[in-house]
Homo-oligomer: A and B are copies of this chain.
Amino acid sequence: MSTPSVPGGGPEQPADAATPSRPPRRVTIAAIAAEAGVSVPTVSKVLNGRSDVARATRARVEEVMARHQYKRRSRGPSPSGPPLVDLVFHEMESEWALEIVRGVETTLADLGASVVLTASEGKHRPGQQWLDGVLARRPLGVILVMSTLTSNQREQLESRAIPFVALDTDGEPPAGVPAVGSTNWDGGMAATRHLIELGHRRIAVISGPKDVLCSRARVDGFRSAHERAGLGYDPDLIRWGDFYIAGGYEHAMELLSRPDRPTAIFAGADMQAVGVLRAARELGLSVPRDLSVVGYDNLPLADWFSPRLTTVNQPLQAMAKTATSMMLTLAEGKQPPALRVDLATDLVVRESTAPRPHGVRS
C-alpha cells in the first residue's frame, strides 16, 4: 500500500470522490460566507470543527454548504501531527471486535497512523459530539462498524473531504457510500446445506436482529438451502435475537425444550453458539450426538470450544484491512476499484456437527 500523501488539493483531484455521480460544485468559501451572512474566517472555523462559533451561526453555515454541496478540495493536514483514523463500533463485544481492530491497526502500522476508537454504546449511529470531534481532529478517514451516519452527518464529512467506509453494515448503505462486507447469504446457505446433507430435517436458526441486514441475509440463505433441497422448514424454528451469548442460550433453551425439538441449530454468531452449547448441556443433550451446532464468524476462540465449533468463517481481519485500504485510497483523492466489496465466507467443519441422530423423527 502506498503512503497517502497529504492531499494537496490540486485541480486534477476529483472534487467528490465518494459520490462520483454528483457533479463537482465549485462554490467558494467567500460565497458561502456571503450567503450565510458571516465572515470567511467564521466559515473556516465551522469547517474545522472549532467550538468557538455560536450554534445558530454554525447551523446556518452548514445549511448553506449543504445546499450548495460545498466540498473542500482536501482535508488538509491533521492539526495534531501524525495522522489519525476514526474507528467507530456500535458495540465492542468479544473477539469479533478485536479481529476488526487488529485488521485496521495492521493496515495503518506502516503509516504511523493511530486509531481513535469510539464505541457508540449499542447505538447504530454515533452522536453529534463524536462528529464534532472528527471535524476538529481531521482524521485521514472514518471506518464505521455496523454503524450508519445520518444524511446530515454524511454531508458534514463530505464537505470536509473526510472519507468514510462502512464495514459490515447494519443496513443497506445509501448509494455512493463505500462499504465492505461479506457474503452473508452464502454463509447462511453453506451452514444450512451442511446440516441438510448430514440428514437433519428439523433445523433451527438463531439469527441476529431482524432489522440488521446481515442477519436477514443469513436467514434467507437458510431458507434457500431448504428450498433447493426440496425441503420445507418450520417457520417456528426461525428465531431473531442478538449476537450475544445470553440470547443464544435463551433461544436454545426454548427450542430444545419443545417436544419436536430441532436436531440442529445454526447460530448467527460464535458467541450465540456458546449459549446454545450451554443450553444443550443443561438439558442433558450431547453435541454433536444429540444436537448439531453451527456457529458464525470463526473467531479464533471457536477452535477451542468444547466440542470444537463447526462455523462459517467470516474474514473479519481481511474485511477490516480492505475497508482501511479503501479509506486510504479515498483519502488520497483516488477512487478505489470498487465501492462495494463483499469478501467470501466459507464453512469450517469441526466437531460440533454430525449426522442426524437415529430415532428422531424428521
Contacts and interface: CB of A to CB of B under 8 A. Distances in A.
A306 B276 CA distance: 12
Interface stretch (A88-96, A200-208, A353-361): A88-96
A275 interface: yes
Given A87-B117, A114-B133, A278-B304, 16 more contacts: A51-B81, A79-B79, A80-B136, A80-B138, A82-B132, A82-B133, A82-B136, A93-B98, A112-B133, A114-B116, A115-B118, A116-B116, A117-B117, A245-B304, A274-B301, A274-B304
Nearest to A87: B117
A295 to B, nearest CB: 13
A212 interface: no
A119 to B, nearest CB: 6
B119 A105 contact: yes
A49 interface: yes
B114 A117 contact: yes
A247 B118 CA distance: 32
Contacts of A214: none
Interface residues of A, number: 45
Interface in A90-114: 92-95, 97-98, 101-102, 105, 109, 112, 114
Contacts of A97: 98
Given A115-B116, A116-B114, A116-B116, A136 B81 contact: yes
A189 interface: no
A93 B117 CA distance: 16
B102 A137 contact: no
Closest 7 CB pairs of A and B: A81-B136, A80-B137, A80-B80, A82-B133, A117-B117, A79-B79, A115-B117
A152 interface: no
Interface of A: 49-51, 78-82, 84, 87, 92-95, 97-98, 101-102, 105, 109, 112, 114-119, 121, 129-130, 132-133, 135-138, 245, 274-275, 277-278, 281, 301, 304, 306
B80 A79 contact: yes
A268 to B, nearest CB: 17
Contact of A306 (B101, B137, B245, B281): B281
Contacts of A274: 301, 304
A130 B93 CA distance: 26
Given A81-B49, A84-B116, A94 B92 contact: no
Contacts of A87: 117
A114 B89 CA distance: 13
